[in-house]
Structure 1
């Protein structure tokens, strides 16, 4: 396990996780659903995923759990569950000084709700909100449903969000950061009329066109995401698939109306360039996660990216839903 001044994180056995829960540690846990359902009730939140970056490299495991022990970090820890109806309360219930770690189930209505609406929540960008989207083994697509669990009751949910709100002492502060390999390319600009996870007709350099037709005609490498430039912050929207007959493209995160997107600039060596922009995890890091698409496209099984560990997820949360990024949170002394 990776130890730091603020707690430890890493892969553990089911028995080790049970012992930590029984000792009343506050944990964020990622793992296969079969393991999560065996955990006792306690001070934890969890989500389903079997892909991890360990100290030895990328790995797939159905018999290990990845834990982030947040016990020694916060002065107050509060675990909550949310439905689509009360999801905006997440920000109000987040600590004024601290952070919130949220897990949302992949493919769910509540994920869609959060992805589309979170950027408009009042004060959303004033409080560090980090987290991830639960998933399943890719071999189980069509048979497994991503779940989240509130450890206080132990119930698995496929359409609720769970969050751990961590208040920090006045001497500490939370810092949320993003590692994004991609920049906007120099090609065409796309603008969509409607926000959503699916799009077709759009404006291409200001002229009417169809994004699915464009991808097919230009033989675009769809491992490259669309990238929006939000005042210098690059935000990816990854392409899930394109249907030429329907003239639609599905995304892993929503595109937003009125926003200019460009396809990402080509990447020569995905893993080398990603590693080059990834800082080493320091002792102040308390949580990080990386995108399952980075795991797949970089073929990361058995390979390392710096010394960062954590789950590979179906989406990353840094205030809003992100794709093909690494997000991390550190707790540091107040400046």
Structure 2
């Protein structure tokens, strides 16, 4: 059986009972049917699989961690008060997979402050933000699952700390279609947050929503910040009906210069080219629900990296509109 694939509940149950170590994604009703074991999970019904983009409430997506066994992993649940310890708790050689429920206080805490946690950017941390079917946005709460305890959680995060042997190392990769448009205006913000009403545009005060409307900004193209050469997206969620408050899928930060992303050509072709190729020992991968939607990926393939299509990606800090994967390599 493939180690990164869509499974029925019965197939996933068999793997769990066989002691496999897995990160799972799927509808809450399916996750609740699984036995306890060496797994963590989050809710989402959108996936990038062998057949391309898939929307399913009947199957689960499984990423089997093939480089380790049960003795090499520790599953922990984090609260709003303890999430700051996630990097420090990680193994000296290995990696951590974390799943956080969207729109929860712990999601906000991690997004706003995760980059300042002790040990962050030293120990590899990947993961994603659990979500729900888009039809259920106002009816259902995203959940995460600690499979070792059988606990389904709406306010906590779940993490799997994975220890690797001395001859192995974990490497995180961020694949981002977007780059700053060098001709775009420079936008800065006074406060950290998932929303903003005012900003500075090229150093001059502005009402952000009015600026976006006047410039006819395409909200499918994120704001992009340059972090020492790394292009990090902050995607637009929308504008309040009052026309003054703009909401994002990740926080903006003071002291950071943002520009809108340059337009892309063929979304699917460019994403496929970015994701295709030899990726080595991939243990985990996820793509963004915005790439799934804006790229119209249902039924379409984009390279050979598969996984859940999420409400946010984690590669150390919270990301948007990216594809993240982690591979394990031999130390030469």
The answer, yes or no, to whether TM exceeds 0.5 is yes
1:56 aligns with 2:87: no
Partner-residue secondary structure (3-state), 1:277: helix
Q: CA RMSD in A?
A: 1.2
Q: Offset at 1:224?
A: 0.3
Unmatched 5+ residue regions in structure 2? none
Alignment of 1:84-123 (within 5 A): 84-123=80-119
Query: Is residue 104–residue 155 contact of structure 2 (8 Å, CA) maintained in 1?
Result: yes
Q: Residues 223 and 261 of structure 2 are in contact (CA less than 8 Å); yes or no, is this contact kept in structure 1?
A: yes
Q: Determine the C-alpha separation between the residues in 2 that align with 1:72 and 1:191.
A: 43
List per-residue Cα deviations over 1:193-233 (Å, max 9, x = no partner): 00000011111000111111111111111000000000000
Assess, with a 3 A threshold, how the Cα gap between structure 1 residues 135 and 261 changes in structure 2: closer, same or farther: same
| The one of 309, 314, 319 aligned to 2:316 | 319
Report the CA distance between 1:277 and its aligned residue: 2.1
SS in 2 for 1:96: coil
Any idea what the Cα deviations from partners look like across 1:258-289, whole Å, max 9, x if unmatched? 11000001112211222222233534111100
Question: Distance in 2 between the 1:110 and 1:35 partners?
Answer: 24
Q: Quick check: 1:23 aligned with 2:18?
A: yes
More deviation, 77-86/66-75: 66-75
Aligned to 1:125: 121
Q: 2:5: which partner in 1?
A: 10
Deviation sequence 1:145-182 (CA, Å, 0-9, x none)? 10001012212111100000000000000000000000
For 1:215-254, list aligned pairs within 5 A: 215-243=212-240, 245-254=242-251
CA separation in 1, counterparts of 2:274 and 2:30? Answer: 34
Q: How does 1:236-315 map to 2 (within 5 A)?
A: 236-243=233-240, 245-280=242-277, 282-315=279-312
Offset, 1:71 = 5.0
Deviation, 1:144, is 1.1
- Residue 242 of structure 1, CA deviation: 1.1
| Structure 1 unmatched ranges of 5 or more | 3-7
* Number of residue pairs aligned between Structure 1 and Structure 2: 330
Contact 1:103-1:161 within 8 A present in 2 as well: yes
Asked whether the 8 Å contact 2:280–2:328 carries over to 1, the reply is no
1:70 maps onto 2:61 in alignment: no
C-alpha distance in 2, partners of 1:180/1:212? 25
CA shift, 1:48, in A, is: 0.2
The answer to whether the 8 A contact 1:237-1:252 is kept is: yes
**Which residue matches 2:329?**
332
Aligned twin of 1:35: 30
Which residue in the other structure is 2:172 paired with? Answer: 176
Distance across 2 between alignment mates of 1:330 and 1:281: 11
Determine the C-alpha separation between the residues in 2 that align with 1:32 and 1:244. 31
CA contact (8 A) 2:285 2:326 kept: yes
TM-score (normalised: structure 1): 0.96
Displacement of 1:246: 4.9
User: For the Cα contact (< 8 Å) 1:280–1:308, is it kept in 2?
Assistant: no
Inter-partner Cα distance in structure 2 for 1:322 and 1:282 = 21
When the two structures are superposed, what TM-score results if normalisation uses the length of structure 2?
0.97
Preserved contact between residue 31 and residue 65 of structure 1 (Cα < 8 Å):
yes
Q: Is the 8 A contact 2:235 2:249 kept in 1?
A: yes
Counterpart secondary structure, 1:240:
strand
Moved over 3 A (4+): none
